[in-house]
Amino acid sequence: MKEELLYEYKDTTLVQPEVRFGILPPSKTEKKLVSRYVYKKENSSQEIWRKLELLELKEFVKEQYWVLVDFFHGQPGGREREISYTRETGLTLQRFEEIASKLDISSSQEVGVDGFKLGYKVSQELSRLTGESITIAEKTSKKHTTKIPPQSFEWYFAIYQLIDVYKINKVHYRLNSTSLEEALKLRSISLPLAGLFLYPFKEVLARTDKAKADVAKRNFASGLKQYSGNSDYTFKSETFEVPTLYFCEKCDPPLK
């Protein structure tokens, strides 16, 4: 089956969260769209009715947001203050296995139960599908300490971690039984006309393809999503989040 890239969007600008004294920092920021890729997969069969069996749109979306790890409110004066917190990054082996299944990656003999190898396979597949360099590591925890000297004013200190969000949407189109019966009926009626039977068959093809194209156009324009009341396709959506290595420490007013 042939897979073709239909649409690509990318904006890798990293926007850091803001912290303002007097306003409690949000627990997380709004998600920012980083990239979106839409692929089309068609059946390469030469049989005229099998060409109607499969038309799939696959969308890969990457978003990012910052989540609040910890927050401190400091008072003026006093002694130097040590702020300690744990930086947890990456994914567990179980999460890698779940994501690998969503990406149709086998975690059996070739990969084994090695989290590093499975993480490499997942990163490799995501990089291939998005055209970006993506590396997802095994879960690690490390204690981090920041020292804040005495200040002459009250201050807010917030720690944020960047979270990557991956969403995989699939719309699988199929020829419904009514259209197939109609096509076969027209074909059987037209058989006595020797080679002329292809004309009505093409009419059915055209009508079915147009219906699929209309749904595909709506999906393509607004992002793949479920439409109710349409039995001619199936929709599947999977989302998973990855805690990254990027942490952001913000203080307001700025420390002196």
* Exposure on the CB side of residue 23, measured as CA atoms within 13 A: 7
Lowest-confidence region among 26-35, 75-84, 108-117, 175-184? 175-184
pLDDT average, residue stretch 90-114? 72
For residue 82 the two structure tokens come to 């040590």
Whether a cis peptide bond, with omega within 30° of 0, leads into 253 is: yes
Cα(234)–Cα(55) distance, integer angstroms: 11
For residue 52 the two structure tokens come to 């109607």
Q: Measuring CA to CA, how many Å separate 150 from each of 55, 147, 153, 227?
A: 64, 10, 9, 58
pLDDT surpasses 50 at 26: yes
pLDDT average, residue stretch 209-233? 64
Q: Which of 85, 220, 241 is CA-nearest to residue 165?
A: 241
Q: Which of 62, 40, 18 is CA-nearest to residue 160?
A: 18
3-state SS, 82-144, equals EEEEEEEECECHHHHHHHHHHCCCCCCCCCCCCHHHHHHHHHHHHHHHHCCCCCCCECEEEEE
Residues 243, 161 contacting (CB under 8 angstroms): yes
**Range of 13-17, 69-73, 226-230 with top mean pLDDT:** 69-73
The amino acid occupying position 120 is: Y
pLDDT at 197: 43
pLDDT average, residue stretch 167-177? 71
Domain boundaries, given as residue ranges, for the chain = 2-90+139-252
Per-residue pLDDT band for 9 (boundaries 50, 70, 90) equals confident
Residues 94, 100 contacting (CB under 8 angstroms): no
Which residue is associated with the tokens 């039977």?
197
**Range of 42-46, 167-171, 218-222 with top mean pLDDT:** 167-171
- Per-residue pLDDT tens digits for 57-80: 888 899 999 999 999 999 998 889
Residue 6 DSSP SS3 = strand
- Per-residue pLDDT tens digits for 144-162: 999 999 999 999 999 999 9
Check residues 100 and 218 and name the one with the higher pLDDT. Answer: 100
What pTM, to 2 d.p., does this model score?
A: 0.75
Long-range contact list for 225-230, CB < 8 A, 24+ apart? Answer: 225/169
pLDDT average, residue stretch 135-150? 90
